[in-house]
Amino acid sequence: MSTAISPRNVALSLTELWSPRVIGEVDDAYIKVAKVHGSLTWHAHDNEDELFYILKGRLRIEMEAGDVELGEGEMFVVPKGVRHNPIADEECHLLLIERKTTLHTGSDVTDKTRSIDEQLRPL
């Protein structure tokens, strides 16, 4: 049976920061939500674009060519191969759309890196 899902409510219920959770999929892409605060890490996704949509709060995405500031209801696509570092000065809730092959922090592994198995855990 099909049921509707509220990305805002799922993000609100998350207890871990920088730990995206898969809430759906469309063709070869996952739809994820995350609760973030602070800085993730500089990284790139060599073969995949990454869409950030702000459900709550503000997010700054640092990039070598200049930063992008996003507020609630705004989105930005980081093009494949672009090094970036998401930063939230206060708690922020995100919706992400990424291809299923996208590694959380690209080839850069830190203590905040989450495997796809971790992201697919039941909510």
Please name the residue that has the structure tokens 């099909």. Answer: 2
Mean pLDDT, the chain, as a whole number? 92
Whether the predicted pLDDT of 84 surpasses 70: yes
The CATH number given to whatever domain includes residue 77 is 2.60.120.10
Indicate the pTM of the whole model.
0.90
| Domain-located, residue 110 | no
| Domain-located, residue 118 | no
Q: How many percent of the chain have pLDDT more than 70? A: 99
Whether the predicted pLDDT of 15 surpasses 70: yes
| Domain-located, residue 113 | no
| Domain-located, residue 121 | no
| Domain-located, residue 76 | yes
Residue-by-residue DSSP string for the chain: ------HHHHHHH--SBT--EEEEEETTEEEEEEEEEEE---B--TT--EEEEEEES-EEEEETT--EEE-TT-EEEEPTT--EEEEEEEEEEEEEEEETT--TTTT---TT---HHHHTS--
Instruction: Assess contact for 87 and 38: CB atoms under 8 A.
Output: yes
Number of folded domains that form the chain: 1
The region of weakest confidence among 18-27, 42-51, 79-88, 97-106 is 97-106
Q: What domain range is 49 assigned to?
A: 7-102
